[in-house]
Structure 1
Amino acid sequence: MSNPTHSFKPTLSLVDATMIVAGSMIGSGIFIVSAEVARSMGSSGWMMAMWVLAGVVTLIAALSYGELSGMFPKAGGQYVYLREAYNPFIAFLFGWTQFGVIQTGTIAAVAMAFAKYLGYLAPGLGETNVLFAMPLGSWNFSVNMAQIIAILSIVLLTWINTKGVKNGKIIQTVFTFTKLFSLFGLIIFGLLIGAKAEVWNANWENAWTTANLKMVDGQLVTTALSGMAFLGAIAVSMKGTLFSSDAWNNVTFIAGEIKSPEKNIGRALFLGTFIVTIIYVAANLMYLAVLPFNEIAFAENERVGVAAAERIFGPGVGAMAIAVMIIISTFGCNNGLILSGARIYYTMAKDGLFFRKAGTLNNYDVPGTGLWIQCLWASLLCLSGKYGDLLTMVIFGVLLFYVITIIGIFVLRRTRPDIPRSYKAFGYPVLPALYVLVALSLAVLLLIYEPEYAVPGLGIILLGIPLYFVAKKEIK
């Protein structure tokens, strides 16, 4: 049990909470994902539609979560909502998937993006500097300098966050404001300096044709899309755009440390997701004003942001500017993910469903043990090199848990109508139902068109079933 003298201290303001939402959402996706979307959809109009749709869907979900956060302003957020709407078993499946893959895998992936771009500025710190290699059967296990840098960044941020939520708050606010201003600056400079009328007009000539684009032996191959192939292209595109907009729910995990959480979490969810949606849409409009469509689709290593910045500032300066922006963006993003994640494990431990020591608070009133357990697993994922595969696998699961959570609003309206609701889901029941329909449709399309990722992702969630009973037995 926690020392009774220690408890979560509500020290985070609305601005702090909003910075956690926005900062956790913006990583490196906005600089990369547009290439895949452009290849999948084949035209500027449909590329923009995928980003707008992702933003609208995310906003609907965030506004819906506002009702749940007002009802249960407690540490653990979404885990608590699922437990209260359904039962501890459903909540555990969510918590297990968060710890096993989603939260820790995202932390590992973001840390590796941080390290890779740091390696761009200082090549000796990059992936090409292999420190150790050893064949293990069909798998060649190796450790490079980028992995070490990634792990060190996770350890550093974890250590800072074990010293109290105020330290994490300062990093989050400073780094998030910095990357927001940097992104706005890139967009404005792009539209004022890099934009070319002929490029913009050419990109919008056939804005609503749909095609799959591939480069074969240096030649562009275009395959028209229709029917189910079109739906499959939407699934692939939305996978990227939605995941670039993900982690907005992290602010719900730290409800116990937010001032007036019953009001401020809902407000922060809306403000944070709205700001990021505006930035993402504006950034893609800037790409279309600066780069010919095929250069977006086939940007080197999918680095659309780098290609755009080189057009705006010149080859050397542009690439350097994006590298610095991504370093800032990913470092701030990981701070929010690390700060938030341990609060889920704290609440799970309190329910007897996680390592018992993770349910204690340290002398700084934060779940220090949970933070270090999360740090250890995320670091191991960095070393495995499989974090990217794991993340791709669980996108299906992420959607599924969002759907189940929002259906929980309908369940709680019926089963627990007397609980005070400081905020009610905007557009209820139409907008929450619309989200459920869209997200479920996308999940089904992922099962059909990307079963190699969606089916194992479902398997990771189902692995939580025996683990739940093991956890219950261990507690007894």
Structure 2
Amino acid sequence: MHKKLKLWDAVMLVMGSMIGSGIFIVSADIMRNLGSGLWLIIVWVITGIMTIAAAISYGELSALFPKAGGQYTYLKEIFGKKMGFLYGWGLFTVIQTGTIAAVAVAFGKYTAYLIPALNDAAPLFQSGEFKITWIQIVAILVIMVLTYINTRGVESGKLLQNVFTGSKILALLGLIAAGFFIVNVSHLSENFSFGWDAFNNMRKDALGNLTNYGWERIGGMTLLGGIAAAMVGSVFSSVAWESVTFVSGEIENPKKNVVKSMIYGTSAVMVLYIAVNVVYLNALDRDTVAFAANDRVAVAASQNIFGSAGTIIIALLVMISTFGCNNGLILAGARVFQTMAKDGMFFRSAAKNNTNEVPGNALWMQGIWASLLCLSGQYGNLLDMISFVIVLFYMITVFGVIYLRIKQPELPRPYRTWLYPLTPVVYLIIGTGFCILLLIYKQQYTWPGFIMVLLGLPVYYLINRKASSAK
């Protein structure tokens, strides 16, 4: 593959793939679970420590295996083809494509803010609860346009990524500055006055809608369960940084630049995320954060900061953010499926590059499946269910650093994990706690995603059976 991506491009890919729509929404759910400004920030800090620790650990593997395919390649090389396939299966069926679908629909929903007719129009098709809306059509158009642009060559995708990621970083910095200097009434001290006390307010009315019935003080195991539930949103808002490893084969000096891009990119994004949440706490009181309409905390904060123009400002910011995020996800994901195809683990035609020297077939396969997920309307549920599995695969990969140090200490390591073994151990401890608490308190986030990945096992054995018969 041609090395067309420099360090700056790789950093933009990391940041652009991470920052989607989550940071503008999930803080409402975190506040409802924990009811304190301090705990809201703690959840984001814990998530930041996890994310950066994982990125630092992945750096060692990216230097050992500087090939396209990234995490798929690491898992395959360390634990064998079966583990690599299960990750790739999960990536194609829901992790990458489901995220692409969800981010595209978020783009469509915020487009409807600016064009209300999209919201008001009758569904194009409806049968029972299944329906196809104009917002879904907008989402599919975005996926198709970005897929087409990326089939025109890596330079096209790179330019789009840099422009949109740069734009949303500047816009977020502007929102952060305005959130501190333009707000008429600061709620910061009020939101932090609860200190270490935590509160829950997740009750629903007779129709199943979340309603503000008042806050209940929580502690002990209930608090731990609340932290785990709250972290589902923050963790999912902080994933996809590993997408840069998928395109290692196209990055200049990948043994150094992949790890640098992951560390620089994840650190910068987590600082931005924490700063944005401080702005929410400064601009809004606790109830407004927790019960913002449709969980759109950023809209409520922006209205408080900029007045009636706030909705338009945030709608534009989210559209820029989700468009750039999806470009990064689309650009990177197809490289994994191409690598799997070369290993005989995916559709054979996905292995080919097109005349623009990019995996055109893999890009279109990814785009078509993501579009079908948009039409299904189930991407949101799928992503909730898969959050547990995403962290599980992160943990297996981070454990791979320790495993290789023990099994193959003689391997030449151009980069060694900072503060080893502390860094991977910290991630594994936090990740294990997160997964165990979800298994105990929020099982709807765990076993469905796990089963979805295990469904890949019969597919794996079928593929290998065919391969054996062909020999």
TM-score, with length taken from structure 1: 0.95
Hey, what does 1:145 align to over in structure 2? 134
Alpha-carbon offset, residue 224 of structure 1: 1.9
Matching residue's letter, 2:188: W
Q: 1:447 to 1:219 in 2, by over 3 A?
A: closer
Matching residue's letter, 1:297: A
Alpha-carbon offset, residue 191 of structure 1: 0.5
Hey, what does 1:346 align to over in structure 2? 338
For residues 407 and 365 of structure 1, the distance between their equivalents in structure 2, rounded to whole angstroms, comes to 34
Alpha-carbon offset, residue 252 of structure 1: 0.3
Hey, what does 1:441 align to over in structure 2? 433
For residues 254 and 120 of structure 2, the distance between their equivalents in structure 1, rounded to whole angstroms, comes to 42
Task: Report percent identity of matched pairs.
Answer: 49
Question: Is the contact between residue 341 and residue 349 of structure 2 (CA under 8 Å) also seen in structure 1?
Answer: yes
For residues 331 and 212 of structure 2, the distance between their equivalents in structure 1, rounded to whole angstroms, comes to 47
Match of 1:258 among 248, 251, 264: 251
For residues 219 and 36 of structure 1, the distance between their equivalents in structure 2, rounded to whole angstroms, comes to 13
Hey, what does 1:273 align to over in structure 2? 266
Matching residue's letter, 1:155: M
CA RMSD of aligned residues (A): 1.3
Matching residue's letter, 1:182: A
Deviation per CA, 1:312-362, whole angstroms, max 9, x where unpaired?
1102x0000000000000000000000000111111111111000111111
Hey, what does 1:5 align to over in structure 2? none
For residues 262 and 157 of structure 1, the distance between their equivalents in structure 2, rounded to whole angstroms, comes to 29
TM-score, with length taken from structure 2: 0.96
Alpha-carbon offset, residue 245 of structure 1: 0.7
What 5-or-longer segments of structure 1 have no aligned partner?
A: 1-7
What 5-or-longer segments of structure 2 have no aligned partner?
A: 206-210
Deviation per CA, 1:193-246, whole angstroms, max 9, x where unpaired?
01634x222112122211102466765322221222111101111111111111
For residues 219 and 358 of structure 1, the distance between their equivalents in structure 2, rounded to whole angstroms, comes to 50
Hey, what does 2:389 align to over in structure 1? 397
Hey, what does 2:285 align to over in structure 1? 292
Match of 2:218 among 220, 225, 236: 225
Question: Is the contact between residue 212 and residue 224 of structure 1 (CA under 8 Å) also seen in structure 2?
Answer: yes
Matching of residue 309 in structure 1 with residue 297 in structure 2: no
For residues 321 and 408 of structure 1, the distance between their equivalents in structure 2, rounded to whole angstroms, comes to 44
Hey, what does 2:233 align to over in structure 1? 240
Question: Is the contact between residue 124 and residue 145 of structure 1 (CA under 8 Å) also seen in structure 2?
Answer: no
For residues 127 and 376 of structure 1, the distance between their equivalents in structure 2, rounded to whole angstroms, comes to 27
Hey, what does 2:155 align to over in structure 1? 166
Hey, what does 1:211 align to over in structure 2? 199
2:182 counterpart SS class: helix
Match of 1:103 among 90, 96, 102: 96
1:288 counterpart SS class: helix
Matching of residue 424 in structure 1 with residue 416 in structure 2: yes
Matching residue's letter, 1:399: V
Aligned residue pairs total: 463
1:142 counterpart SS class: strand
Match of 1:9 among 2, 22, 31: 2
Hey, what does 2:208 align to over in structure 1? none
Match of 2:188 among 178, 193, 200: 200
Question: Is the contact between residue 12 and residue 265 of structure 2 (CA under 8 Å) also seen in structure 1?
Answer: yes
Matching of residue 189 in structure 1 with residue 178 in structure 2: yes
Match of 1:463 among 437, 455, 465: 455
For residues 120 and 368 of structure 2, the distance between their equivalents in structure 1, rounded to whole angstroms, comes to 21
Question: Is the contact between residue 62 and residue 269 of structure 1 (CA under 8 Å) also seen in structure 2?
Answer: yes
